[in-house]
Structure 1
């Protein structure tokens, strides 16, 4: 008699003279194939199936009895699916605040590169740095304090004429907090940058998020030409040779000595004190 294979892997159907199919199992011991077998047994209904296989399949396909815990889990899962849909809302209109359409700065590029600033604003942004503004880290890296970036923006656009809008959630790793921000000036996006800040204790995460924001502001201001000298190798070499010095210091607690870089008009601060090499 003829034999034909079913689409279900591991099952073979044999045509009987009476026209009723019989199921012989050659089931592989693989979980997803076992589920296919169980589904096939349920579909065949009352055909000639080994009672042991039917009983096993029925137990495996039997729905779980509802309990308070399973009901709570299913309810929470349904709520999460509704709240975290990746497709709902993508074509929605921008939100409105008191009837005025608002821009969603988490994904909008409104006004980017559309128009330049006025000559007065440009002059303020591109003004050369004075050597008194520049600070030096102990490892020799020169930088401009974050507050001075804010002062330049306030001078160019006025307080309230600019702001930082987060473009994503804060990402907290074992040692770093990072987040992407957009610099908004007079209602349009002018720059995007990702800030980062290290932390050493979980209690310091809130402070690190503020440092992350300031770091993003500094990187956004680089696109506006503010303090561009800090990325100019010639300016760095000239400032380092004229305005900095290397000194040996000793830690007040550990008594360890190390060499650090200071401005020539600066002295070592606690917990360090200058010592001879």
Structure 2
């Protein structure tokens, strides 16, 4: 091919490259194009007319065509709000401004979780202990002498007052519902003894704490022993109130036994063993398991 033909062909190829046109060689075809990138636009949703955002409303009034950033003005929102009660009905205004006092009947840390906010946790509390003496009318009932006809004696010689007598005295002094026993510990079940600590609460005040205990001889008797240890704790708590305090006086015990009781020989029905036992003089003779 002549030299001028090569030069002409090279000139035509240069013009086509400059114009971005399609050109062809002897073995491969190329295509060039110019890429134009368009910046992405972010569409912002305008605030609805029903919102109460002060920043969006102000921007809309200033320029309806101007888009507002939904986060604009978030830092200007006050942390606390004050209710404007002017123009409201009197009943609504008073309800909005009324404050309710917090009950002060219980100490901090003595409230039962998830229960009545004024209830006292008597498993830990000592609320009202020795804060004030009971009235003279209540004291006269609690300290009244015990009727000797109500006193019982066990075969081993221990004198006692039946539990129902303690309950009657407390009901007479404080009224039914004016006193109660509150457990302070879990029930402790030993190999032969069941025990639990109770608090005697009268008129909303703790007055005494005692541990009741009761023996049992078979696992099936544990429920009964649990109830019996409650009665034992009641009897011990009543000592602090002066109820039946004579039963703890050694002189009274000796005089009562000499006056109202008798010691006899009893023979066991099965083993035929004899043993010294006690009973009241006005009670019938023993018949089981010992017989006179």
Bin of the TM-score, shorter chain as denominator length: 0.5 to 0.7
Confirm whether residue 264 of structure 1 aligns to residue 265 of structure 2: no
| Cα offsets for 1:227-261 (capped at 9, x unmatched) | 00011111111111111111112222332221201
Per-residue deviation at 1:197?
Answer: 0.5
Which of residues 238, 255, 259 is equivalent to 1:242? 259
Deviations 1:21-72 (A, max 9, x none): xxxxxxxxxxxxxxxxxxxxxxxxxxxxxxxxxxxxxxxxxxxxxxxxxxxx
RMSD between superposed Cα atoms in Å: 1.6
Residue number among 128, 132, 143 corresponding to 2:145 in the alignment = 128
Question: Paired residue for 1:45?
Answer: none
Query: Counterpart of 2:291?
Result: 273
- Are positions 1:222 and 2:270 aligned together? no
Shift of 1:152: 0.6
The residue correspondences of 1:1-277 to structure 2 (distance < 5 A) are: 94-95=111-112, 99-266=116-283, 267-274=285-292
Give the structure with the higher percent strand: 1
Q: What SS does the corresponding residue of 1:132 show, helix, strand or coil?
A: helix
Q: 2:56 corresponds to which residue?
A: none
Distance 1:200 1:99 in 2: 40
User: What CA distance in whole angstroms lies between the structure 2 residues aligned with 1:93 and 1:151?
Assistant: 30
For 1:120 and 1:216, the matched residues in 2 are separated by: 25
Distance in 2 (CA, whole Å) between partners of 1:233 and 1:121 is 26
| Structure 2 unaligned residues grouped into runs of 5+ | 1-107
2:223 match: secondary structure: helix
**TM norm structure 2:** 0.60
Q: Using the TM superposition, give the Cα deviation of residue 107 of structure 1 relative to its aligned residue in structure 2, in angstroms.
A: 0.4
Q: Give the SS at the match of 2:267.
A: strand
- Conserved 8 A contact 1:126-1:226: yes
Report the Cα distance in structure 2 between the residues aligned to 1:136 and 1:97, rounded to whole angstroms. Answer: 47
The answer on whether the counterparts of 2:110 and 2:121 sit within 8 Å (CA) in structure 1 is no
Runs of 5+ in structure 1 lacking a partner? Answer: 1-90
Q: How far off is 1:99 after superposition?
A: 4.9
Question: For residues 229 and 106 of structure 1, what CA distance do their matches in structure 2 show?
Answer: 30
SS state at 2:122 partner: coil
**Partner SS state of residue 149, structure 2:** coil
Answer whether contact 1:124 1:152 (CA < 8 A) is retained. Answer: yes
Structure 2 SS opposite 1:212: helix
Q: TM-score by structure 1 length?
A: 0.63
8 Å Cα contact 1:178-1:212 kept in structure 2:
yes
